[in-house]
Amino acid sequence: MTQDTSLAHFEIIARATVSDLPPAFHPAADAVAVRVVDWPDTPMLRDLGMADRLQLTGLYEGVPLTQKSVWDQPMGPDLVWLFRQPILAEWRERGDVALDDLIAHVTIHEFAHHFGWSDDDIAQIDRWWE
């Protein structure tokens, strides 16, 4: 059986991952839009100081819950981006992880930023990249 690598499949896995979060996280997670696209765009990469578009598998855009204020005027929903081609490249390169697990991992990582976790916070409990 061939692995489904379509944008639609990525979105299904990302949404299922968010649905599987513990119930206490659902209200905050429901306020975040998820977008799955093939590649990060050039302004995103430039803003992050990245030259190689394969380096960016996901991105959280928004104000983390730990920094939100009642005085903030939202300009739109917070957004989690998943970048299909970089995720596929990593999946193929690693060869030791199921694609759906990698999609779920990137999704959780980006939602962790929404909940206010830094990359260092995430790394302390998530040894995925070692």
Residue bearing tokens 């983390």: 64
Dihedral over Cα of 112, 118, 60, 105: its sign: negative
Q: What domains lie within the chain, and their CATH numbers? A: 7-66+75-125 (3.30.2010.20)
Residue type, 103: I
Query: pTM of the prediction?
Result: 0.85
Q: Which sign does the torsion angle of CA 88, 93, 94, 95 carry?
A: positive
- For residue 129, pLDDT over 60 is answered with no
Stated as kind and residue range, the H or E segment containing 102 is helix 99-114
Tell me: the pLDDT tens digits for 9-54? 999 999 999 999 888 888 888 889 999 999 999 999 999 999 999 9
Beta bridge partners of 39: none
Identify the residue with better confidence: 34 or 71.
34
